[in-house]
């Protein structure tokens, strides 16, 4: 008999409408979620804990840091084989990635949720919970870091993103594909993740801002970051890592004052690389002191930087961590 702890945090999966046509709010406890399962997976004992029951759009870094610490504490019990976290889909990929960075245990950590609320007649929550429990009890997922289980697909936390606002198959791992799937109650793994990156941060630095660049964007917001004492900035930049005119000069001023500036790409696939010169092409940004995020998405680059700064990392350590994230060798396919 395997033992899995289910930690319920709210989200659509735990939400119902207050009235017909009224707003949908989180509030169902973990035991209520278990009661919705059509049939509980055989051979798995489930323990339930209730965490902060809110929509994932209302979470903050401090709360998710506490969640990750709780996951680690639960997994430290030899009797527990894995953890399932029910969570809202809006920021699930971010919480899962932070769990991937912060949780020390190599036992399975599986995030799941729903796109259709618990009061909907065709809610997708019960099936997702059952499949997530099977994944958390699976020895094959040990050492794979945090994953998301949704609509039968298993995705690595580092690679997955929410791709559709409302479809039940919303999660995708662009360019890389899923790790595996659950089919008729069986867990199948098709590949393994790259070597995990661990950042044992005692806190997450909330002073890291994220800026999405568009055609003709101005660097004026960087002045605010400098004046307000922000500790880091992540740019969701063009293509290989390029920015509009004027950004290189402002960035140089930030990095000279000790602010970490990371450049990620707003593209869904590929990695950053300093290729283009002149005003604020990637080479000019490199000369201004930026750190390139490689294939890490902008929102996850922000989280990695926040964890590194929270751990007290300096510029050299931060650069090494982002480089290591790209150089981690792929696992052996199974």
Choosing from 5, 9, 86, 89, the catalytic residue is 89
Token pair in block for residue 25? 């709010």
Please name the residues in contact with 42: beta carbons below 8 A apart, sequence gap of 6 or more.
none
Token pair in block for residue 270? 């590929």
Residue closest to 159 by CA, chosen among 300, 327, 272, 323: 300
Backbone phi, then psi, for 76, in 5-degree steps?
Answer: -70, -15
Known catalytic residue: 12?
A: yes
Residue closest to 154 by CA, chosen among 188, 186, 125, 130: 188
Whether the CB-CB separation of 235 and 289 falls below 8 Å is answered with no
Please name the residues in contact with 25: beta carbons below 8 A apart, sequence gap of 6 or more.
15, 16, 18, 55
Is 89 known to sit in a ligand binding site?
Answer: yes
Q: Which residues of 244-276 are buried (b: 16+ CB within 10 A; e: fewer)?
A: beebbebbbebbeeebbbbbbbebeeeebebeb
Is 231 known to sit in a ligand binding site?
Answer: no
Choosing from 12, 86, 161, 170, the catalytic residue is 12
Match 């790209």 to its residue by tokens: 326
Known catalytic residue: 89?
A: yes
The annotation places the binding site for substrate at 56, 89-90
Which residues are catalytically annotated? 12, 89
The annotation places the binding site at 56, 89-90
């Amino acid at each position: 008999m395997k033992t899995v702890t289910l930690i319920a945090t709210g989200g659509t999966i735990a939400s119902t409408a207050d009235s017909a046509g009224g707003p949908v709010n989180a509030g169902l406890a973990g035991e209520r979620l278990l009661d919705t399962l059509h049939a509980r997976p055989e051979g798995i004992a489930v323990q339930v804990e209730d965490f902060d029951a809110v929509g994932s759009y209302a979470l903050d870094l401090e709360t998710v840091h506490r969640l990750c610490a709780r996951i680690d504490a639960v997994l430290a019990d030899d009797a527990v084989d894995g953890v399932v976290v029910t969570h809202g889909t809006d920021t699930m990929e971010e919480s899962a990635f932070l769990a991937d960075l912060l949780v020390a245990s190599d036992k399975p950590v599986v995030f799941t949720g729903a796109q259709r609320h618990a009061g909907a007649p065709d809610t997708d929550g019960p099936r997702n919970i059952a499949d997530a429990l099977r994944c958390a009890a699976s020895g094959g997922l040990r050492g794979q870091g945090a994953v998301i289980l949704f609509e039968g697909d298993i995705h690595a936390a580092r690679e997955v993103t929410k791709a559709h606002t409302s479809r039940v198959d919303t999660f995708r791992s662009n360019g890389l594909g899923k790790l595996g799937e659950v089919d008729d109650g069986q867990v199948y793994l098709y590949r393994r993740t790259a070597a995990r990156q661990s950042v044992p941060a005692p806190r997450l630095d909330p002073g890291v801002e994220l800026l999405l660049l568009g055609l003709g964007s101005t660097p004026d917001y960087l002045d605010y970051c400098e004046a307000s004492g922000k500790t880091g900035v992540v740019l969701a930049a063009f293509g290989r890592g390029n920015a509009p005119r004027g950004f290189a000069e402002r960035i140089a001023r930030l990095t000279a004052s000790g602010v970490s500036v990371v450049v990620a790409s707003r593209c869904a696939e590929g990695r950053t690389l300093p290729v283009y010169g002149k005003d604020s092409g990637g080479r000019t940004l490199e000369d201004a002191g930026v750190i390139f995020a490689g294939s890490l998405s902008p929102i996850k680059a922000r989280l990695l930087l926040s964890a590194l700064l929270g751990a007290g990392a300096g510029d050299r350590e931060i650069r090494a961590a982002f480089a290591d994230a790209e150089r981690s060798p792929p696992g052996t396919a199974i």
